[in-house]
Amino acid sequence: MWSNVEPNLQPAVREVLSGEIPLGRLARAEEPARAAMWLLSAESSYVTGSHLVCDGGTLAKGSVSV
């Protein structure tokens, strides 16, 4: 995604995207990684057929205006 954005515009794009996320910020890399690790762990052994949405509330918001 970032390869299509001019390097000098990346901070502005990040700011706009952060404003669209209900939690108000982009995810840190370890956050979706922790979700994946939980799914791979024994702690999720009884989880079947569900979706684990790790998007800062974007899906619940229902739309983005970017």
Is residue 33, in this structure, part of any structural domain at all?
yes
Is residue 62, in this structure, part of any structural domain at all?
no
Q: pLDDT per residue over 2-46, tens digit each?
A: 567 788 888 998 999 999 999 999 999 999 999 999 999 999 999
Is residue 39, in this structure, part of any structural domain at all?
yes
Is residue 48, in this structure, part of any structural domain at all?
no
Domain containing residue 18: 1-43
64 falls in which pLDDT band (50, 70, 90)? low
Is residue 50, in this structure, part of any structural domain at all?
no
For residue 65, give both structure tokens.
Answer: 């205006």
Is residue 3, in this structure, part of any structural domain at all?
yes
Is residue 7, in this structure, part of any structural domain at all?
yes
Amino acid identity for residue 47 in this structure: V
| pLDDT at position 4 | 74
Each residue of 8-19: b (16+ CB within 10 Å) or e?
eeeeeeeeeeee
Distance of CA 40 to the CA centre of its chain: 19
Considering its fold, how many domains does the chain have in total? 1
| pLDDT at position 36 | 93
Is residue 49, in this structure, part of any structural domain at all?
no
User: What average pLDDT does range 45-62 have in this prediction?
Assistant: 87
